[in-house]
Amino acid sequence: MRLRLPTEHPAEPPTGYKIAHPVLSQDGVRAGFTGVSLGGALPYGVVADASCLYGRRHRPPARLCDCGFHCVHDRAAAEALLCTAEHRGAVLLEITVLGAYIRFEHGFRYARQRVRTATVGPCGCGAPAVALADAGWGRPGRLALAAACAGCVRGRTSVTLAAFARLAGEGLRVVAAPAVAPATAAAPASASRTVGAAALPDGLGVPELVAEAALLQARLDWFQSQLARLGEHGTGGTADRD
């Protein structure tokens, strides 16, 4: 006798929550996510289909396998996973469960998903994130990213939250988690001039423009400090030769 699971026919696709690491393609033109467990070897886009990591010829989620995407019902349960050391750099995803799924006590295992919102936590220094920057690791062809504030981006490869959303496509929203400390009300005037000179896409609101300005200003400050350091070394070398 084969055990049959009860069938559900929801009026709307269920909503779930999970954590993942944001990734950027090596050429910088595509953005997506990679999981924090077994599925971490296979980065996925905003809309993606699951596959069996064991190479078995069945459609996920198979009842006698643990293949498929995984998520939890409760947002707080997913946020709790971000407290562990190995997951501090991950982001919180709100997803729509699509296709076939198996319901468990705490979540779903399912065949297809759409990532609706990615919430980025604070920078490692505690300041609100304005960008996703090189995290120092990755997958073949994919650069892992982590939250960064304007002051910590420096010369690392990075994209603003709005730019990551555009590269990922499919209507993804990327938002920064609320800061514990009050955020800066406005970007410096020099940052505003920098943004005015750059080619920014249409449709950005004030928060996105402020983030773009802060990121550009931080990069300018870093390059100026590097130039100043190189200038000091050059002057010292000339004096020694004289």
Tokens of 33: 């996510």
In angstroms, the CA 37 to CA 145 distance is 17
Listed as own residue / partner, the contacts of 222-226 with beta carbons closer than 8 Å and 24 or more positions apart are: 222/153, 222/154, 222/155, 223/155, 226/155
pLDDT, tens digit (0-9, with 9 covering 90-100), for 97-131: 999 999 999 999 999 999 999 999 999 999 999 99
pLDDT band at 175 (very low <50, low <70, confident <90, very high): very high
Q: Please compute the mean of the pLDDT values over residues 76-89 and round it to a whole number.
A: 95
Q: What is the reported pTM?
A: 0.74
pLDDT, tens digit (0-9, with 9 covering 90-100), for 194-230: 333 344 455 556 666 666 777 777 767 777 777 777 7
Contact 124, 152 (CB under 8 A): yes
Contact 26, 141 (CB under 8 A): yes
- The per-residue b/e assignment along 86-121, b for 16 or more CB within 10 angstroms, e otherwise, is eeebbbbbbbbbbbbbbeeeebbbbbbbbbebbbbb
Contact 31, 91 (CB under 8 A): no
